[in-house]
Amino acid sequence: MARTLSPVADVLELNLSCPNLQGKSQIIYDPEATEAVIRAVKKNTNKKIAVKAAPFMDVAAQQEFCEIAKKTGVDVIVAINTIGNAMYIDADREKIMLKPKWGGLGGEALKMLGWGNVRRYHEFLKGSIPIVGCGGIYSGKDAFAYALAGASAFAAASVLYKEGVAAFARMENELEAELKKHNYAGLQDAVGKAREF
């Protein structure tokens, strides 16, 4: 697949953390499999490789993934993917509203876990691999918080679903206002600048 997509892609994103594979584990939680997949893709492309990472709850496992990312030459980490095994029940109708019952939990519910994971990446990687913040970004202020945690770019899907493409111009304007309000000349100046309590 890497050879097929490389001629038309700038970056190949490896989703090693899809939580919606019924009966299969997420690759990213298996260090040997993660390393093997990244190496196989890198061998078959000259494009940059991004890895979409699962929300790590285990700090040691996240640090181990960081070591794999560094030694295999991952170019970008996208953090975080949705959380699997979520369910939505309409209690009024007494009905499970997802097929096949479970799905990935995304949007607003991910924001704090996303900030925490991005901050850990920022600390573990010390700027050696750029981080794309993802999870619960609905405003420029949300993106600004991801930058303060350590992200230098952002991905947003739930807001696109809710508001359409106009959301991106709004969020860009809001982000610029946040940077100005906090006296940052540009986004890169804010990356990782969250102060401890």
Give the pLDDT of residue 20: 80
User: Is 197 domain-assigned?
Assistant: no
Q: How many residues does the chain have?
A: 197
How high is the mean pLDDT of the chain?
Answer: 94
Answer whether residue 67 is part of any domain.
yes
CA distance 177 to 18: 34
Q: Which domain holds residue 105?
A: 2-190
Which tokens hold the place of 123? 């600390």
The pLDDT of 90-112, averaged and rounded, is 92
Is 18 in the active site?
yes
Position 38 in a domain: yes
Q: Report the distance separating Cα 152 and Cα 148, nearest Å.
A: 9
| Residue 195 within any structural domain of the chain | no
pLDDT at residue 143 greater than cutoff 90: yes
Q: What is the pLDDT of residue 179?
A: 98
In a domain, 196, yes or no: no
Average pLDDT over residues 79-104: 93
Question: What burial class does residue 22 get, using C-beta atoms within 10 Å of its C-beta: 0-12 exposed, 13-18 middle, 19+ buried?
Answer: exposed
Q: Strand pairing partners for 40?
A: none
Rounded to whole angstroms, the Cα distance separating 160 from 106 reads: 13
Catalytic residue, from 2, 18, 61, 109: name it: 18
Nearest to 131 by CA among 39, 62, 44: 62
Q: Bridge-partner residues for 52, per DSSP?
A: 15, 78
The pLDDT assigned to 169 comes to: 97
31-64 pLDDT tens trace: 999 999 999 999 999 999 999 999 999 999 999 9
> What does the block give as tokens for 188?
């890169």
Q: Rg of the chain's alpha carbons, rounded to an integer?
A: 18
**Total domains, the chain:** 1
Residue 51: inside a domain, yes or no?
yes
In the 8-state DSSP scheme, what is residue 86? Answer: E
Q: Would you say residue 172 lies in a domain?
A: yes
Contact present, 53 and 27 (Cβ < 8 Å) = no
> Residue 148 carries which side chain, given as an amino acid letter?
L
8 A C-beta contact, residue 189 and residue 157? no
For 156-192, how does the pLDDT look when each residue is reduced to its tens digit (9 = 90+)? 999 999 999 999 999 999 999 999 999 999 999 999 9
Q: How far is CA 108 from CA 137, 144, 156, in A?
A: 7, 15, 11
Q: Cβ of 117: how many Cβ atoms within 10 Å?
A: 28
For residue 155, the domain's CATH number is 3.20.20.70
pLDDT at 99: 86
Note the pTM of the prediction, 2 decimals: 0.93
**Alpha-carbon distances of 92 from 15, 57, 98, rounded to whole Å:** 36, 33, 15
Indicate whether 32 belongs to any domain: yes
